[in-house]
A = this chain, B = another copy of it.
């Protein structure tokens, strides 16, 4: 059984999920967080559901060794491709970023015209379209895969960059033409391009950032299950990556909005139970 002092575990293919951690830190400063970024196998968004499920399972098994009270797949690709298959396999609560984003979009839209952008895998899975339709059949969803935005963000480029700007113009054109009034950022990397996205879409379009929604829902879940940390507790934050830990710490600052201290190297697919336990004990 988990107690309120157990950490929240978060994983992503790389840096993107740190936008969720940032929101968690803001809302829940007393919570401890363990983060794993799978930088050795990034990106997930161009890979098959089977492969992403295998990666997610290995990541979850590593994070399980920290005894988390909640595991968040802070990655739209893993949320859409892997969570539906993995949810029955674990007793710990697994939550993703798709449903919170879909719920927020369904609540916010006034015209019933919603846009979603994400990786090839996320958009190809149809998860947002399905999830929004389950909430309200009258909403029309226009979804667009933007496969180059993750490499652009991972390359350290921002909204001011000419290549980013040109990519956004190309990708967002069909959403503007569809006249959406609400746009879901269906990839945890995209909040870093919010200024550019806002500029291309125009001021009347509402942007739904699933990182923020996910942190909100995590808080609600922990409050309901009585597992929130005591307010005067001090959260401990631990970061792991499967490759380039220094690069991860350096680029991660932008995502997290603050320095992250040291990042430890770990390869979940190479860990057996004992090794994983050692990683846990050392931390």
Contact = CB atoms under 8 A, between A and B. Distances in A.
Interface of A: 39-42, 46-48, 50-51, 147-148, 151-152, 154-155, 162-163, 166-167, 170, 242-244, 269
7 contacts: A39-B47, A47-B243, A47-B244, A51-B243, A51-B244, A148-B151, A148-B155
In the A-B complex, the 6 residue pairs with the smallest Cβ-Cβ separation, listed nearest first, are A151-B151, A51-B243, A40-B51, A48-B244, A47-B243, A41-B41
Contacts of A244: 46-48, 51
A158 to B, nearest CB: 14
Contacts of A167: 163
Contacts of A162: 166, 170
Contacts of A170: 162-163
A163 B180 CA distance: 25
Contacts of A39: 47
Contact of A166 (B46, B51, B154, B163): B163
Nearest to A155: B147
A147 B151 CA distance: 8
A99 to B, nearest CB: 26
Contacts of A50: 243
Contact of A47 (B40, B46, B155): B40
A198 to B, nearest CB: 21
Nearest to A154: B46
A272 to B, nearest CB: 14
A163 B151 contact: no
A124 to B, nearest CB: 11
A189 to B, nearest CB: 13
A46 B46 CA distance: 16
A46 B42 CA distance: 9
A48 B269 CA distance: 17
B48 A243 contact: yes
A50 B245 CA distance: 12
A192 to B, nearest CB: 16
Contact of A152 (B41, B42, B148, B243): B148
Contacts of A47: 39-40, 243-244
Nearest to A46: B154
A196 B39 CA distance: 31
Contacts of A46: 42, 154, 244
A47 B39 CA distance: 8
Contacts of A243: 47-48, 50-51
A41 to B, nearest CB: 5
A147 to B, nearest CB: 5
